[in-house]
Structure 1
Amino acid sequence: MKIGQIIKEERTHRELTQEDMANEFFVTRQLISKWENDKSYPDLEQVVKISEYFDLPLDYLLKEDKKMINELNFDSKKKKWMKYLIYILITLSFYLVASFLLISFYDGTFLTKKDIEITKIEKILVPEKKLKNSKTGQELTLAEDIEYTIYFKTNKSFVDLSDVSGYNLGMDKKQIVTQIRVGRKIFGKKIKEGKIFIRSNRELLSEYDFEDDNTNMNKDIYLYDPYKTNKNIDRKNISSYADLLFTKEELDKLPITKGKIPY
């Protein structure tokens, strides 16, 4: 006997209407009618409740209705997969929100040598210049200098080079150290090409009566890598915190380009 027929017989035996049973099971009268006419099947939870309500064994309700059993098996598998899908979606949503918050709060990042591809470098001659020291009143002659514009691009995720800032981090008698700090962007179009400006520091340094080695002449160019640094960093060992971009020999071979880098 099919479950629909059992439900109908048990209901009529107890002189219940379809409306009475619908109220008891918190469903519509139309759904009770569909059960009784085999147009729809109760789910597993409803079958258990029917068993308890009519005081009937579960196997009595199910054993002869193969179509009903197949329907319940399919429904159980569907619910199982739905649970897995919901779990996956919740997990993905958590990681997306966490990534969004991390990138939103961390508004800047550094690019290292491995993050960029240099496409071009321009060398601009800065001529000799007379200047008076504001502290001593002494007239100084600023030596001829070189400025560089380094063009590069990057494919690093979430990096937007519309807000790039590349500048001299420091120098000594042999090296120039520059760094690239960029903006972060999750959505929308991202600019992936930028410039590093190696400007002359001769006017600034002259205010402090630096020695004559305060130009960019005859120096290697290094790119700062903050991920190399640690508490025991050796400032005398530049390779411990920066990567070589160009040697002075490579820079000497570059032609002079006319123009002026922006300040």
Structure 2
Amino acid sequence: MELSEKLKQLRADKKVTQEKLAELLHVSRTTISSWETGRSYPDLQMIVEISDYFEVPLDFLLREDEKMIKKLTFDTRNKRRLKSFILALVVLVIVVAGGIISIWNNQISVMNPRNVKIIKVEKVAINSRIVDGKEIGKDYKYYVFVKMNDPLHTFDMVVDGGNIYKNNDVYVDFQVKNSINIFSNLRNNKNLKKLVIHSFVGQNIVNGRKENYNIHKNIFLGGPESNKRLILDAESNK
């Protein structure tokens, strides 16, 4: 006797309708009907519930139904394959994500001036001098004290700015380090950091560049493409 016939007989012996059995097993009435006609089979978990409800052993339900045994075996193998595939996919995603994070973390980026709050600026005069027989005029260098609000970056060991001179403007970029240690970054970036904007250097005039002074210039924090934060304007930078 196949499972479909046994299920129909058990239900009849217990005087339970298809609707009532469907309600007890949390399935639809058409599902019960499909099981009893042999058009489909319950899964192993559902067979256990049927066994418990009718108080019959699993062996009784499964015995003599070769189609049912083959289906359960096939379903079990497919579930194992699916689990193995999902596990392999998860491992692959973790490895790839870990590699990407590892490559990104600790790399050097350019500081975004929007994420920086300037606390104070100290201007230091550099008097005129002679270098390699060339006269270098008076200039200024600056110490810019800042705090940064950027959870994915922190200041690198290098805190000297790279000056870019363009017409009457000076743009200064600083380096920051990529970091996924968000809470540590937010804590450390609250500390005051001293950034250095260097004055005109002797090598510039030796190389024939005469206008690369900070004095009388507008000084921006960030590169020419951002110029969002002005540290000093030309009028105050005399």
Give the TM-score taking structure 1 as reference length: 0.47
Query: Given residue 221 of structure 1, which amino acid in structure 2 is its aligned partner?
Result: F
CA deviations 1:76-98 (Å, max 9, x no partner) are 69x84x76665555444323322
Aligned to 1:218: 217
Q: Counterparts of 1:251 and 1:101 in 2: how far apart (Å)?
A: 50
Whether the 8 Å contact between 1:161 and 1:190 is mirrored in structure 2 is no
Q: Counterparts of 2:158 and 2:92 in 1: how far apart (Å)?
A: 30
Whether the 8 Å contact between 2:118 and 2:145 is mirrored in structure 1 is yes
CA deviations 1:86-140 (Å, max 9, x no partner) are 55554443233223223433552424537x5222243222224242222xx35x3
| Root-mean-square deviation (Å) | 4.5
Aligned to 2:140: 145
Q: Counterparts of 2:235 and 2:158 in 1: how far apart (Å)?
A: 23
- 1:102 paired to 2:100: yes
TM-fit CA distance, 1:250: 9.5
Aligned to 2:199: 200
Paired residues in the alignment total 176
Q: CA 1:123/1:223 → structure 2, altered by over 3 Å: closer, same or farther?
A: same
Residue number among 143, 150, 153 corresponding to 1:155 in the alignment: 150
- 1:170 paired to 2:138: no
Residue number among 66, 69, 80 corresponding to 1:58 in the alignment: 66
TM-fit CA distance, 1:247: 6.2
Whether the 8 Å contact between 1:130 and 1:141 is mirrored in structure 2 is yes
Query: Given residue 94 of structure 1, which amino acid in structure 2 is its aligned partner?
Result: L
Residue number among 232, 246, 261 corresponding to 2:230 in the alignment: 246
TM-fit CA distance, 1:200: 1.6
Q: Counterparts of 2:174 and 2:83 in 1: how far apart (Å)?
A: 42
Give the TM-score taking structure 2 as reference length: 0.51
CA deviations 1:142-175 (Å, max 9, x no partner) are 3141414151324343x34354545224213322
Query: Given residue 200 of structure 1, which amino acid in structure 2 is its aligned partner?
Result: S
Whether the 8 Å contact between 1:112 and 1:223 is mirrored in structure 2 is yes
Residue number among 113, 129, 132 corresponding to 2:130 in the alignment: 132
Q: Counterparts of 1:148 and 1:122 in 2: how far apart (Å)?
A: 8
Whether the 8 Å contact between 2:150 and 2:185 is mirrored in structure 1 is no
Q: Counterparts of 1:243 and 1:92 in 2: how far apart (Å)?
A: 44
Q: Counterparts of 2:89 and 2:194 in 1: how far apart (Å)?
A: 39
Whether the 8 Å contact between 1:125 and 1:144 is mirrored in structure 2 is no
Q: Counterparts of 1:221 and 1:204 in 2: how far apart (Å)?
A: 23
Percent identical across equivalent pairs?
Answer: 10
Residue number among 117, 120, 143 corresponding to 2:115 in the alignment: 117
1:191 partner SS = helix
Query: Given residue 245 of structure 1, which amino acid in structure 2 is its aligned partner?
Result: R
Q: CA 1:124/1:188 → structure 2, altered by over 3 Å: closer, same or farther?
A: closer
Q: Counterparts of 2:166 and 2:160 in 1: how far apart (Å)?
A: 18
Q: Counterparts of 1:93 and 1:172 in 2: how far apart (Å)?
A: 51
Q: CA 1:133/1:101 → structure 2, altered by over 3 Å: closer, same or farther?
A: same
Q: CA 1:118/1:90 → structure 2, altered by over 3 Å: closer, same or farther?
A: same
CA deviations 1:5-45 (Å, max 9, x no partner) are xxxxxxxxxxxxxxxxxxxxxxxxxxxxxxxxx8876xxxx
